[in-house]
Structure 1
């Protein structure tokens, strides 16, 4: 199990970011005629959030690669022994695979409305069908589930740090996007917001 996870984690994150960020970005860019990556690069607070996102993603990738290259050292640093159980590792792998599928499906269902960041130059359609009937943010939900699964497969304080900081940044981003969508779609978004939960609605 340990050797499998050692190779699984870096391969998983490479596939995750290649498909759900690079791949989807290329498809959407071709359709809308510009890059869907609209994160600002100025000195604003929003730009700072975007830079933190990139830093966390880079650190996550580096950590998994170091775990692959130095299996006798990195995975056991700050390990939480009580959670180091094969059952939790199996659950973690399952959650990560499920999260990957969830994110990709949600991105496909967003079609041309998908963006990395908030697009202030173009009005996008409000997507309320498919997975968006159950979650206003199925992509962020999937990313959160993926980080939970990662923590289960690699139960260390470092992995918990990625989960905690990643979740905080996503919750900030979600609220920024909510303000933008409310300005763009008004009462239509407000009605949708009341009907569907931020992360998950259970009927």
Structure 2
């Protein structure tokens, strides 16, 4: 790995450690478990597994590449991101993505959850990064891992996010009703606002 690739890898490791530490801190502040993948009516086993693979891949895959090389021939993601300028750009993506994800996670405070379950959502959060994205943690996480992992693991992350967001949106709509639907109509899933004002308070769609 080049010097910039090593810096990007170390930043990703710092992010993963910070994500886990922040989750523990927020769970303590909330005074309740925040791991909800095994709860609720919705089946979340697949998305939970894919998230684990993506996080593990972010830590272990670059080490494998450094030690043994890429076992996947003609990996499109690796080929597309090869070169010094892409290394610099990739590092910037990792830094920006990590900051966005961690700041958004911290902004959720005691509403932070990993997974979704009926009756387990936290207090309403629609300010800060959640005013322009219903899922800023996922946006930041995708930005971090996109420039680090092999194409298959990146695809696993994207599938996990899409599955989990759909589950969370159904659960929040059923549990919170109109306040969440108003927020959903006003703020886009990934980035931006629709411009349609809402008279109701709103809630983050992202338990984690």
User: TM-score, normalised to structure 2's length?
Assistant: 0.81
Where 2:44 maps in the other structure, the secondary structure is helix
Where 1:61 maps in the other structure, the secondary structure is helix
Of 124, 131, 135, the residue aligned with 2:122 is 124
Q: Contact 1:9–1:64 (CA<8 Å) still a contact in 2?
A: no
Structure 2: tracts of 5 or more residues without a match: 196-208
Deviations 1:65-121 (A, max 9, x none): 212334xx2388535546422222211110110000000110111010111111435
Aligned residue number for residue 30 of structure 1: 28
Partner Cα distance (1:185, 1:139) in 2: 21
Aligned residue number for residue 44 of structure 2: 46
User: TM-score, normalised to structure 1's length?
Assistant: 0.82
Aligned residue number for residue 100 of structure 2: 102
Aligned residue number for residue 177 of structure 2: 186
Q: Which has the higher helix share?
A: 1
Q: Contact 1:110–1:127 (CA<8 Å) still a contact in 2?
A: yes
Relative to 1, partners in 2 of residues 1:128 and 1:78: Cα closer, same or farther, differing over 3 Å?
A: same
Partner Cα distance (2:131, 2:65) in 1: 38
Relative to 1, partners in 2 of residues 1:110 and 1:28: Cα closer, same or farther, differing over 3 Å?
A: same
Aligned residue number for residue 148 of structure 1: 146
Structure 1: tracts of 5 or more residues without a match: 152-158
Corresponding residue pairs, total: 191
